[in-house]
Amino acid sequence: MFNRIIYLIPILVFSNEPKLSSIKISDGFTKPVYVCQAPGDNERLFVLEQKGVIKIIKNGKNVRKLFADLRDRVHNPLMPGDERGLLGLAFHPNYQSNGFVFLNYIDKDDYTIVSRFNVSINPNLLDTASEKILIRLKQPFSNHNGGHMVFGPDGYLYISLGDGGKWGDPFNHAQQLDNLFGKILRIDVDNGKPYSIPNDNPFVNEENAKGEIWLYGLRNVWRFSFDRETGDVYLGDVGQDMWEEIDFIPAEEAGGQNFGWRIMEGNHCYNPKENCDTTGVLPIFEYPNDANYMKVLTGFDEPNVDGCSVTGGYVYRGKNIPEFYGTYFFADYCSGNIWTFKEVNGKVTHFQNRTDEINLGGGTFTNYISSFGEDNDGELYIVDYNGAVYKIIKKD
Ligand SMILES: [Ca+2]
Ligand SMILES: [Ca+2]
């Protein structure tokens, strides 16, 4: 495969690159799906548990303090492989002054809910009674809910919504602009009731198009990020039967792009299977998947795939590992593979498999990598769905 052939040369060029490792920051979580910090607060990490609970890790210590319990409204209990529950959190950029926390979850009636909450007088407790719903959208199927949210460099809130679910995008949601499924949305939470649509959104003046839409043709972007230095956008779009993909858009071009789904899966025609329209944005990187990855793990199938569900990560912009400055980290949820590359002129360079190097959990079991996280200093974390949060560090 191309990642194994053409990346031999950079290894020689970068042979003085330090090795990576990881340290466990905390464990004992139940199905954690995200970790982040609040702006202006370098002491606490916030960890989302899918069942509807948010916990705090303080000063890197293995103490899990309860920040919020929303199990009264978040979908639970979780079935095996359940894609519902608490999925995303974004602190308002002015969190220190306004205390606004935005959450994305699937509620007990299978609606996607995007809400704003206030922190309480106690900075270690969310005011769960302060919920103000911004978006409420009935999900047609239980899977492909997206869920990630992040404030962009422009202060707008960006929200991922999957294609709605089942398989093959049966309603062709992602290609149609009259609905919010299979999209990244861009909204202004500082104006309007409950929000407003920025004037420069790509489809704001188009008839029969939802003004919230920023990017479309996406299947299920579980995690995406802005490069905090350049504003470039990296999206991990989870694949169907064959291909997982990382999508990339430079900051100056971002907005209005079609990423191809369901016409294409990665670089390949999906519907129709041949002679499809290939004019959408093709992935910067793809790798083969297998929805039955467990078969691979148990030896019943050829181990010829790299995973089953991509977990988009971050471009490293921290200080502790300067040799990795500008390197993008991402992973596969099922295989626990962790990879890095550097984007140069829209192309992947310096591609590396870092799984053994980072060596989560001492390499003793398969990690289910549900998310990456980035702290205020730009250091990166990995969330293992089995219950632990790790920090990526330089090997001594
Ligand atoms: Ca769904
Ligand atoms: Ca695509």
Sequence-ordered list of residues with C-beta below 8 angstroms from that of 386, at least 6 positions apart, any chain: 365, 367, 368
Average pLDDT value over all residues in the chain:
92
**How many Å apart are CA 57 and CA 66, to the nearest integer?**
9
| Average confidence (pLDDT) over 245-272 | 97
* Cα(110) to centroid(ligand 1), Å: 8
Ligand 2 ion: residues within 5 Å (CB): 259-260
Give the model's pLDDT for residue 15: 56
Work out the burial of residue 52: count CB atoms within 10 Å of its CB; fewer than 13 is exposed, 13-18 middle, 19 or more buried.
buried
When pLDDT is cut at 50, 70 and 90, the band that residue 365 belongs to is confident
Ligand number nearest CA of 84 is 1
Read off the pLDDT band of 362 (50, 70, 90). confident
Average pLDDT over residues 87-112: 98
- Ligand index nearest the alpha carbon of residue 145: 1
pLDDT digits (tens, 9 = 90+) for 274-315: 999 999 999 999 998 875 554 545 554 544 568 889 999 999
* Distance from residue 150's CA to the centre of ligand 1 (Å): 20
pLDDT surpasses 80 at 10: no
Confidence (pLDDT) at 8: 44
Going by DSSP bridges, is the β-strand pair 369-374/347-353 parallel, antiparallel, or unpaired? Answer: unpaired
Which one has a higher pLDDT value, 95 or 2?
Answer: 95
Query: Nearest CA to 110 among 88, 131, 82, 129?
Result: 82
Instruction: Report the share of the chain in percent with pLDDT over 90.
Output: 86
Where residue 5 falls among pLDDT bands split at 50, 70, 90? very low
Tell me which ligand sits closest to the C-alpha of residue 144.
1
Q: From ligand 2's centre to the CA of 283, what distance in Å?
A: 6
Please answer whether residues 111 and 139 qualify as being in contact, where contact means their C-beta atoms are separated by less than 8 angstroms.
yes
**How many angstroms does the Cα of residue 108 sit away from the middle of ligand 1?**
13
User: Beta strand 157-161 with 149-151: parallel, antiparallel or unpaired?
Assistant: antiparallel
Query: For 136-195, how does the pLDDT look when each residue is reduced to its tens digit (9 = 90+)?
Result: 999 999 999 999 999 999 999 999 999 999 999 999 999 999 999 999 999 999 999 999
Comparing 5-9, 154-158, 208-212, 341-345, which segment has the lowest mean pLDDT? 5-9
- Closest ligand to the CA of 169: 1
- Residue 263 CA to ligand 2 center (angstroms) comes to 9
Alpha-carbon span 393 to 377, nearest angstrom: 13
Domains of the chain plus CATH, in order, are: 2-394 (2.120.10.30)
What pLDDT shows up at residue 363?
79
More confident residue, 305 or 391: 391
pLDDT in tens, 211-237: 999 999 999 999 999 999 999 999 999
What ligand has the least distance to the C-alpha of 249?
2
The ligand that comes nearest to the alpha carbon of residue 181 is: 1
Closest ligand to Cα 219 = 2
